[in-house]
Structure 1
Amino acid sequence: MKKTIALVSVTACLSPFAYADNSNVITGESPEGVYVQYQSMNQVTESMKQDGFTLHRCGINTLRNNIQANQGLEVPHSQIQCVYSKPGQSTSDESELIYWHLNILYSMENENFIAESEFAEHYTSEIYTHSPEYLLDIGPNYYRQRSEVEALGMKVGECNLQKIYYFSAPTEESYLSDIASCPVYKADGELSGNITVEINHTPANLGYSERLVNFYAI
């Protein structure tokens, strides 16, 4: 099955652990609390990491704003979604993306939230985005490099994007692409180096993709 997501041509399939139910009931006072317990008990992110995947972010999508007393638990109250990526051997290779979901129910009787089931959507794709800014939000190679420096106790600051031109006098015709420089700080706040992301611009599909990602220490 072929899908297109933000200029990304992908092949999608449910992962082997899709719709996996849990024998242990996890409850909490909020969807966030349920998710924290679920992660602690099932080590989802750690398992992804062992398989080479890096966590980008997690968010909560509320599915039901109004809960009636006569409504059962069949329809989830909210859903946690986390995005993971695994880059190919080189920046020109296809990458893997996993959108992991956890459905959360709400019990009117007990007035608490309950973890129901998890499932994941697995995509293999060449990553192209509509803007260079969005590439810094989804780029697998950038997130891999970012994760590596963060594992050393360092923090990545806000990236600075600059346009690259063929000639010294910028014109629309001479526009080439972009380059991002992201400062990396030690735990004490001292500058340690920069993550540099060279970005390709493909006029044929007006897309942006990762060309080269490196960390340069100072």
Structure 2
Amino acid sequence: MITIIKYLSILPLVFFLACEDSFEPAGIETRVFGRVYDDANELPIANQKLLVSEWNSVPQFSPGPNDDFVQYLDSTYTDINGYYELTFTTTGKGDLYFLEYEYDESYWNFYQSRVEIQNLGTDTTEVNYNFLHLYPVNLRITLAPDVENLPIRISPYFTNFRSTDWLTEVDKQYTRTILTDKNREERIRFIRTKSDGKNYQEFNYSLPATNTTELTEFEIYISNDDFVDF
């Protein structure tokens, strides 16, 4: 019994020590460098903003996010050849450091996320990104008079439309601009809710590869029979 009581008395101390927060010392300088490049088109990504963020990893025993954002420490832009470098200094307020990029709808980032910078205090940390240039296409869309169950939602692969951009009237031509990979065919989905309010139908349009950096246009005519269940 005495052994159990002693164990229970030191248990809170063990938990406290395990949960105690820690920080990297202030004043550590780290150089990060690399390139942001488009392998598919063999083009650099110029003027892309990159940032170093500082985070605090908070110990915890329950599952879930345990990293608290502290601040952005530094930023830079890629040059005309896609190269960058920067040197940041720790502040003593965090223990995790990441290289991040600023979102730009002109490029596709292949779902690449922030990269943790682990070699603090060195000048050998190289981080490269592979992005994809996207190019504009005008879609001239006409809904036939027989189209039912409006509105129609447009769902391209690379472009997100708001609900205010959906197609709401028949027998009318709409113009919607999307950004696409010029080297590949892209499936554009037109989606509507069925009259039961629960199930959906779609029409898939195959946009051919444009193979050009110039603005291109495509005419799309949609009738009611084009939609199928999914």
Shorter-normalised TM range: under 0.3
TM normalised by structure 2 equals: 0.27
